[in-house]
Chain A
Amino acid sequence: MKNKLIISLFVAVFILGGLPLYASHHKEMSHKHEGNAHAHGKMTHKENQQVPKNQLNKEAPHQIKVRVDGIVCSFCAYGAEKNLSKLSFIDKSYYGDDGVFVDIEKGIVTMALTAKKKADVKSILKALKKGGYTPRELSFVDHGNVIKTIKLDEKEIKK
Chain B
Amino acid sequence: MKKRIKQYLLAILLSPTILLAHQPVMDMAPRWEGGYGFQTRLESFSSNQLKQGTTEVSNPLGLRNEKTTLWLEGVYSFTREHRVSFKLPYTNHFKRVGDGGSTQDLRNEGMGDVIVGFLNKFYVNKKDYTGNISITPSLRLPTGATGGDISIGDGVVDFGLSVSASVESYGFYGMVDFFGWANSIESDGSRNGNSLGLDIDMGIHPYHDMKTNSGVFALMGLNSRIYSKSLNPGGFENQNSGSASIEMVPTLIWYKDNIMVRGQYHMPIYSDMNGSQLQPTSGIQFGVGIVFES
Contacts and interface: CB of A to CB of B under 8 A. Distances in A.
A16 B38 CA distance: 8
A42 interface: no
B293 interface: yes
A17 B29 CA distance: 16
Main secondary structure of the interface of B (DSSP, over half): strand
A76 interface: yes
Interface size class of B (residues with CB under 8 A): 35 or more
Closest 3 pairs (CB-CB, A-B): A79-B32, A70-B125, A70-B130
Nearest to A95: B211
Contact of B70 (A8, A72, A73, A102): A8
B170 A105 contact: yes
A74 interface: yes
Interface stretch (A31-39, A125-133, A141-149): A125-133
Contacts of A73: 28, 130, 168, 205
Contacts of B29: 75-76, 78-79
Interface in B86-100: 90, 92
A68 B290 CA distance: 24
Nearest to A105: B170
B259 A12 contact: no
Interface of A: 1-2, 5-6, 8-9, 12-13, 16-17, 20-21, 24, 56-57, 67-76, 78-80, 82-83, 96, 101-105, 107, 130-134, 136
Interface stretch (B52-60, B111-119, B227-235, B250-258): B250-258
A1 B40 contact: no
Contact of B293 (A5, A17, A82): A82
B170 A13 contact: no
Contact of A17 (B169, B215, B259): B259
A1 B110 CA distance: 11
B256 A131 contact: no
Contacts of B109: 1
A82 B129 CA distance: 21
A76 B32 CA distance: 8
Contact of B40 (A9, A57, A82, A136): A9
B285 to A, nearest CB: 11
Contacts of B127: 67, 69, 107, 136
Interface in B19-66: 28-35, 38, 40, 42, 44
- Most A C-beta atoms less than 10 A away, residue of B42, B68, B211, B260: B42
- Most B C-beta atoms less than 10 A away, residue of A5, A9, A75, A83: A75
B38 A133 contact: no
B32 A72 contact: no
B293 to A, nearest CB: 4
